[in-house]
Structure 1
Amino acid sequence: MVKKRWNELSERSRRLIVAATVGEVLLKAAALIDLKRRPAAEIRGSKRAWGATVAFVNSLGAVPIAYFLFGRRKPADD
């Protein structure tokens, strides 16, 4: 595998990298905000574990999406 410097990448490749990075940051921010606001009873597992995993694992969006799909419980009916 040949490593290229940023300025050696095509314009398309640079745009894709920037778009993927922005997408990852937005997904992580949305997941962390939701995690902060949601009561612990509505989270499957530990809020601390989800927060650390979402914040620190570079996953191309997979961890925040997993949180939204599997980490949240439906609110209890009052």
Structure 2
Amino acid sequence: MAKTKWDDLSDRKRLLIIVSGVLEGALKVVALVDLARRPAAEVRGSKVPWAIAITLTNSLGVVPITYFVYGRQKPTAT
């Protein structure tokens, strides 16, 4: 099977790849900034594994979204 080169892709496929990459990158940055600023008591689990998973996993945004949905806890009332 021959590898498809960038020049062989249609303009629509190129745009989809670029937009997907930008969206995933933006989600990762926002998730990492939130993780860094959030107190450890408001994160389910340790912050280090979340940071590693968010940074190193190429997931089409699944890991950052999982962090936002599952990994954060609501602040406790003081």
Q: Structure 2 length normalisation: TM-score?
A: 0.96
Aligned length: 78
Measured against aligned partners, the alpha-carbon deviations of 1:20-55 in whole angstroms (never above 9, x if no partner) come to: 000000000000000000000000001000000000
Post-superposition offset of 1:58: 0.4
Post-superposition offset of 1:2: 4.5
Counterpart position of 2:55: 55
Query: What SS class does the counterpart of residue 12 from structure 2 fall into?
Result: helix
Identity %: 53
Counterpart position of 2:28: 28
Report the AA paired with residue 42 of structure 2.
E
| Residue 14 of structure 1 pairs with residue 14 of structure 2 | yes
Q: How many angstroms apart in 1 are the aligned matches of 2:52 and 2:69? A: 17
Q: How many angstroms apart in 1 are the aligned matches of 2:2 and 2:13? A: 15
Instruction: Return structure 1 stretches of 4+ with deviation > 4 angstroms.
Output: none
Q: How many angstroms apart in 2 are the aligned matches of 1:67 and 1:74? A: 13
Q: CA RMSD in A?
A: 0.9
List gaps (5 residues or longer) in structure 2. Answer: none
Q: How many angstroms apart in 2 are the aligned matches of 1:3 and 1:16? A: 18
